[in-house]
A and B are shown apart, each in its own frame.
Chain A
Amino acid sequence: MTATLNDPGVKVPGRRPLRRGPVSGVWRPRNVAVIVGGLVVLVLALALNIGRGEFPISIPEVLAVLVGGGDAGQQFIVLELRLPRSLTGLLVGGALAVSGAIMQSIARNPLASPDIIGITWGASAAAVTLIVLGGSGLVGSLAAVGLPIAALVGGLGTAVLVYVLAWRKGIQGFRLVLVGIGINAMLTALVHWLLIIAQVYEAARAQVWLNGSLNARSWEHVVPVGIALAVLVPAALVLSFVMGALQYGDDTAKGLGVRVNTARSLLLLVGVGLAAVATAGAGPIVFVALVAPQIAQRLVGSSRPPIGASMVIGAALTVISDVIARTAFGAVELPVGVVTAVLGAPYLLYLLIRQGREARA
């Protein structure tokens, strides 16, 4: 096939081609604008977050350090002490948002994000079990290493459970959401029970983790989340091609040659993997996975949550929430999950009310 770069005409209105060699796609300027704009906001929020603290550093100075400038003291504070925390927030937020975008797309329902249908709490329940039963001694330290794995297993297990229970000759979005909300409630109860039977020290440790905290995050937290994202996000981008066809209902998708169940299972695996890795990294930071893809979809004006824009907006949202969590209440630092919950809950209510109206209409 020859590249048609010399063909200037747009034959289908609204679908300007973008082609180079065998690669082709549709040029969507709004999508690119949202990603670029989101990146600018993200970098500024990151610099602001890093600059705040006992030794304030101005945003230009932070940016200078990030590109290799600044004095030794600033370099130490920025790169060793503060950057890992913000970077964890950025990566976790991005991972949650991509996870939300995938799950909302395959269920064709904005409520089907991992924090609503129990995936995040499944990961949390497994992690808390490990914290509580692992104790605080040597075993506990060893258990901490296994925390991400436990979270991953918990998240995947919950996803399989929800999927199987919601299955009735295929997956229908609203049933998946209802089953997920039920499972979520059970997992919440399980976590609370674990907190009650736990020793005070472990309970406190679990509680901090459960609020979704970026406190004391270092490079050892950044690396695993970063690696997981480096693998799973490209997978999501490749699979998003099939996601477009899955949007139409199973019969149409099959008619278009999509192996619906295989495609959906793979997408679910990637989505749950991202949510579980994020939860393992920073605890259950709620509502980012729900809200970010929806904001991205509205900004881009697309018919489904766009992966790239969702990721940037989820990252920015989490870093901004962390800025608020750290500075809004003076000396008291809130866990970032509290801020995202306060910001996200009204939006959840809005979605529930709107869907309720649609269901009745």
Chain B
Amino acid sequence: MTTRSDTQTTAAPEGQAGRVRLAAEGVRLGYGDRTIVDDLDLEIVHGTITTVIGPNGCGKSTLLRALSRLLAPSRGQVLLDGRRIDRMPTKEVATVLGLLPQAPTAPEGLTVGDLVARGRHPHQAWYRQWSGDDEEAVAEALAWTGIADLAERPVDELSGGQRQRAWISMALAQGTELLLLDEPTTFLDLAHQVEVLELVTRLNTERGRTVVMVLHDLNLAARYADRLVAMKDGVIRAQGTPAEVITEPLLREVFGLDARVVPDPVAGTPMVVPIGTHRDR
């Protein structure tokens, strides 16, 4: 059998580079009467990793929810490949755009294999719940994220890092070209944060996935993003390469943080060193 499963979308076809896949145009976002983001524009370019940073409550998760159609803008629009995302059938969107919510929950007792297989939902119907393509894609996603040997283990017995890999594996099995991740490293220790972000990077470089994510850690954001978007009070204050965005004046303005910015000794990307008080011993 030579079924080419759709997780195997490799690097961007020629002519895709530079194409805007996802765009917010003049969106106003909020909950009830409370407006959090107003008149915001953003473009996500094919094949890039875009990371949104900003202090707590700046609207970065709200923006990600709007981009993933979980939150409808009260003004403006979100376009997926040039089409209004709210007018597309939600199942069709789910074959192009996958998302990993912040701290997602799995039902108690669910196995890793069943979790990852759930990623195939948009490709299935009630009578077709485990096709050959589904099986190929899930087996591949499990292997690729290094959790094939955990397939029969319950998700709630995994460590935090393994669990996050299982969720990313599910998103991979979904086979979408775009992937939106809301703080994928929350609750993980540094080693596992790096592990997850390495995985995300490989999704981008080896699988051609276009990634948008929200991250808290500025140094990791600078290390693992092609483009950074810095938000404060619902407004984009700066966007561009990490070197363009992570500057001492911007850190003061956006985060209220006095810090030095020095080159990361490993990657050369900007590294934030807070000033604060330090203790000499």
- List residues of A whose CB falls within 8 A of some B CB: 1-2, 4, 7, 11-15, 17-19, 22-26, 108, 169, 237-242, 244-245, 247-249, 251-252, 254-259, 301-304
Closest-CB distance, B112 to chain A (whole angstroms): 9
Q: Are the C-beta atoms of B126 and A238 separated by less than 8 Å?
A: yes
Known contacts being A24-B130, A249-B104, A259-B90, is A11 close to B122, with CB within 8 Å?
no
10 further interface pairs, Cβ-Cβ under 8 Å (given A12-B138, A256-B122, A303-B114): A15-B113, A15-B114, A22-B128, A25-B129, A26-B130, A238-B126, A248-B118, A252-B99, A255-B99, A303-B111
Among A7, A240, A248, A302, the residue within 8 A (CB) of B106 is A248
CB-defined interface of B82-101 with A at 8 Å, one 1/0 digit per residue? 00000000111111001111
Closest-CB distance, A179 to chain B (whole angstroms): 21
7 interchain residue pairs of minimum CB distance: A257-B94, A257-B91, A11-B139, A241-B126, A303-B110, A257-B122, A251-B101
Q: Are the C-beta atoms of B93 and A12 separated by less than 8 Å?
A: no
B residues less than 8 Å from A249 (CB atoms): 101, 104-105
Q: Are the C-beta atoms of B139 and A1 separated by less than 8 Å?
A: no
Confirm or deny: B163 has a beta carbon within 8 angstroms of a beta carbon on chain A: no
Q: How far is the CA of A68 from the CA of B135 in the complex (A)?
A: 46
Closest-CB distance, A29 to chain B (whole angstroms): 14
Known contacts being A245-B118, A256-B94, A259-B90, is A15 close to B135, with CB within 8 Å?
yes
Interface size classification for chain B: 35 or more
Confirm or deny: B262 has a beta carbon within 8 angstroms of a beta carbon on chain A: no
Q: How far is the CA of A4 from the CA of B133 in the complex (A)?
A: 10
Confirm or deny: B159 has a beta carbon within 8 angstroms of a beta carbon on chain A: no
Q: Are the C-beta atoms of A257 and B93 separated by less than 8 Å?
A: yes
Q: Are the C-beta atoms of B101 and A255 separated by less than 8 Å?
A: yes
Confirm or deny: B131 has a beta carbon within 8 angstroms of a beta carbon on chain A: yes
Chain A residue, CB-CB nearest to B154: A303
8 Å CB contacts to A: which residues of B102-146?
A: 104-111, 113-114, 116-119, 121-122, 124-136, 138-139, 142
Known contacts being A26-B130, A248-B106, A248-B118, is A11 close to B69, with CB within 8 Å?
no
Among B94, B117, B127, B131, the residue within 8 A (CB) of A12 is B117
A residues less than 8 Å from B131 (CB atoms): 1, 19, 24
Q: How far is the CA of A26 from the CA of B116 in the complex (A)?
A: 14
Among B65, B104, B135, the residue within 8 A (CB) of A248 is B104
Q: Are the C-beta atoms of A24 and B128 separated by less than 8 Å?
A: yes
Q: Are the C-beta atoms of A254 and B90 separated by less than 8 Å?
A: yes
Q: Are the C-beta atoms of A19 and B126 separated by less than 8 Å?
A: no
B residues less than 8 Å from A2 (CB atoms): 132
Confirm or deny: B174 has a beta carbon within 8 angstroms of a beta carbon on chain A: yes
Q: How far is the CA of A11 from the CA of B140 in the complex (A)?
A: 9
Chain B residue, CB-CB nearest to A3: B132
A residues less than 8 Å from B261 (CB atoms): none
Chain A residue, CB-CB nearest to B109: A303
A residues less than 8 Å from B91 (CB atoms): 257
Q: How far is the CA of A172 from the CA of B155 in the complex (A)?
A: 22
Confirm or deny: B48 has a beta carbon within 8 angstroms of a beta carbon on chain A: no
A residues less than 8 Å from B68 (CB atoms): 255
Known contacts being A17-B135, A244-B118, A303-B108, is A255 close to B129, with CB within 8 Å?
no
Known contacts being A12-B151, A301-B109, is A1 close to B133, with CB within 8 Å?
yes
B residues less than 8 Å from A242 (CB atoms): 126
Q: How far is the CA of A1 from the CA of B111 in the complex (A)?
A: 27
Q: How far is the CA of A11 from the CA of B131 in the complex (A)?
A: 12
Closest-CB distance, A170 to chain B (whole angstroms): 11
Q: Are the C-beta atoms of A13 and B151 separated by less than 8 Å?
A: yes
A residues less than 8 Å from B122 (CB atoms): 256-257
Among B1, B109, B130, the residue within 8 A (CB) of A17 is B130
Q: How far is the CA of A25 from the CA of B65 in the complex (A)?
A: 32
Q: How far is the CA of A25 from the CA of B117 in the complex (A)?
A: 11
A residues less than 8 Å from B126 (CB atoms): 237-242
Chain A residue, CB-CB nearest to B89: A257
B residues less than 8 Å from A241 (CB atoms): 124-126, 129
Q: Are the C-beta atoms of B152 and A255 separated by less than 8 Å?
A: no
Q: Are the C-beta atoms of A26 and B129 separated by less than 8 Å?
A: yes
Confirm or deny: B158 has a beta carbon within 8 angstroms of a beta carbon on chain A: no
Closest-CB distance, B85 to chain A (whole angstroms): 12
Q: Are the C-beta atoms of A302 and B109 separated by less than 8 Å?
A: yes
A-B contact pairs, 30 of them (CB 8 A): A7-B1, A7-B132, A11-B135, A12-B135, A13-B113, A13-B151, A13-B152, A15-B117, A17-B130, A19-B130, A22-B127, A24-B130, A26-B117, A169-B31, A237-B126, A240-B126, A244-B121, A248-B107, A248-B118, A254-B69, A255-B98, A255-B99, A255-B100, A256-B119, A257-B92, A257-B95, A258-B90, A303-B110, A303-B111, A304-B107
Q: Are the C-beta atoms of A11 and B121 separated by less than 8 Å?
A: no
Known contacts being A12-B151, A251-B99, is A258 close to B121, with CB within 8 Å?
yes
